[in-house]
Chains A and B, each alone.
Chain A
Amino acid sequence: MENQEKNDDKQEFKGRNLEDVISLAEHVLKIPRTQFNYEIVAEKTKLFGIKTKEIVIRAWPKAVIDSEPATRFLDELLEKCPLDLKYHTKKNRDILFIIFEGRDKSLLTQKDGALLLAFQHILNKVSPQKVQTDCDFFRKRKERELKDYVQHVARRVRESGRKEMLDPMNPYERRLVHITVNQIPGIATESIGEGFLKKVKLYPSKGRPKQKSYS
C-alpha cells in the first residue's frame, strides 16, 4: 500500500543505456542528476528483432531535509527541561539523525531506551522528515543483541522442528527479525497480532527451502 502511494510521484523513463535514461530524466524533471534518486526497474536485452538493450528507471527528486522544525523544537524543549542533554544531527538520505550527548545521557537508554524513543516519537510528530534518535550507539548495540538472539532461536527451531514465538516488538525490530531469519534456510517468519506491537512466529518452513530467485 505504502509503496503504491510512493510510486505515484516517481516517473518512469526508458532508454537504451543508463546514461541515456538519466539524461532523459534530467531533461524531463528539469533538475540535475545530483538532485534526484533513481532505481532501475528493468533491464533487458531484446532478443527478437534487432538486438537492442532497453533499460527502465524510476526517478524522483530527492527530499530536501529540513531539520529546522525538529531542532528548533528540541532546543526549546531542552531549555525547559532539567535534564542535562546536548545533541548533534546527521543527515542520511531522508532521515534526520539526532545523537544525544550530555551528563544525563544514561537516562536515555535505561528501560530499553524508553526516553530515547519517547523523544523520537514526539520529534517525528513535529518534524516533516523522519527522525531517528540515538545515543552511544544504542541502536547498533540493540540490533546486534536482537540479531544474536533471533539466530539462536532460529537454530533451536530448526533442531526441534517446533515453532517459537518471540516477545512483542515494534515494526523496526520486527523488520530486523524477518531479515535475519530469512537468511537462514528452512525457517520462516510471520507477524502475529494487531497494533503497534506484534509477536513474530518462527517456524520450520515445509519441504525444501524456497528457492529464491535473484533475477
Chain B
Amino acid sequence: MQELVEMIAKALVDDPDKVVVSQLQGEQTTILELKVAQDDLGKVIGKQGRTARAIRVILGAAGMKEKRRYNLEIIEKA
C-alpha cells in the first residue's frame, strides 16, 4: 500500500524524487505518512482537498480488501 501511495504521489508532483512514504503499523490501522517537496504540497492536496480525498478513497477501498484501515497523512517537509 505504501508503494501505491508513492506511485500516485509521484505521478502528481513536479519533483518525484522528493516523494517519501513511510508506514506506521498499528493493530488495525496503518498510518501512511506522505512527504513531498514544499512546492508540491498543493498538488497532492488539490483544490479544497479533492486530490487528497481521492487518494484516501482509493486507499480505503484497497484497505477493505485487506481488512485493514489506512490513514493517509500528508506532511510538510522541513
Contacts and interface: CB of A to CB of B under 8 A. Distances in A.
Contacts of A82: 62, 65-66
Q: Determine the interface band of chain B, counting residues with CB < 8 A from chain A.
A: 20 to 34
Given A122-B8, A125-B12, 8 more contacts: A80-B4, A82-B65, A115-B57, A117-B54, A122-B51, A125-B11, A126-B12, A196-B50
A183 to B, nearest CB: 31
Size bracket, chain A contacts: 20 to 34
Contacts, number: 55
Interface of B: 3-4, 7-8, 11-12, 43, 46-48, 50-51, 53-55, 57-58, 61-62, 64-66
A111 to B, nearest CB: 8
Contacts of A126: 11-12
Given A77-B4, A126-B12, A196-B48, A115 B58 contact: yes
Secondary structure at the B interface, as helix, strand, loop or mixed, is helix
A104 interface: yes
